[in-house]
Amino acid sequence: MNKVIQCPCGYVIRADTEEALVEQAQQHARETHQMELTAEQALAMAQPE
């Protein structure tokens, strides 16, 4: 099942696995918002697509 995270800035992250979703979310948080995101935080924001 695909999962999606919609960042408050409008960026949408989609991935086939939780691992890929977390990795992409962490990269976006670091590069765009200069913040560190834990795997737990990323997964808490994830919703089924």
pLDDT higher than 90, residue 49: no
Across the strands, what pairs with 14? 4
How distant, in Å, are the alpha carbons of 23, 31, 38 from that of 10? 18, 15, 20
What is the DSSP-derived secondary structure letter of residue 16?
A: S
Residue ranges making up the domain that contains 39: 3-48
pTM for this predicted structure: 0.91
Q: How many domains is the chain built from?
A: 1
**Per-residue model confidence (pLDDT) at position 1:** 67
pLDDT higher than 70, residue 17: yes
